[in-house]
Amino acid sequence: MRLFTAIDLPAPVLDTLARLLDRLRPTAHLKWSPIENLHITTKFIGEWPESRRAELESALRSLGSFEPIPIRLRGLGFFPNPQAPRVFWVGVEAGPDLAELARRTDAALARLGVPPETRPFSPHLTLARIKEPVPLSGLRQAIARLETVEFGEFRADRFYLYLSELRPAGSVYTKLSEFPFTP
């Protein structure tokens, strides 16, 4: 099983992002993310045996309590940089609790043998992947014409364990478990 943990987005935020994607998709031939796949990844786990799923879930339940985390979606950008982009993203702004959730998740799963993160936690929503160089001038012009780069705010009060299945048409994500924050 290919797994990750993530925070879901509420319907009003997804509606705003759907309108954004409807506006931007025609401007560049990229591998655009389906709206139903948008989430804030807190830990990519990778391959994990089904026989050890309960052990993994137990570790995730042991992370401790969190207050709801205020999250704001704001700004657009490219990883690793605008000159050689591989990912087009929406920025995620949150207090230190989101990074702490990612840190605790990483530490708990490292004890089970999941490789720890080597890069700093950089929360974002992946709007599109850029596999090979393509013209982006139309996308850049569309971004410049946007009235706002504010895409919504919400309070996260849980995260999920997801299964990621790679299919020819793209990844399909299935929720396996829910982990409410319990203050």
The CATH number for 164's domain is: 3.90.1140.10
Q: Which two tokens stand for residue 167?
A: 């299919």
For 5-41, what is each residue's pLDDT tens digit? 999 999 999 999 999 999 999 999 999 999 999 999 9
Quote the DSSP letter at residue 113. T
Average confidence (pLDDT) over 122-127: 96
Q: Taking the model in full, what pTM does it have?
A: 0.93
Residues 6+ apart with CB under 8 A from 52: 112
What are φ and ψ of residue 139, in 5° steps? -65, -45
pLDDT the model gives residue 183:
63
Number of structural domains in the chain? 1
Report, as residue numbers or ranges, the catalytic residues.
39, 124
Range of the domain at 33: 2-180
CB atoms within 10 A of CB 152: 17
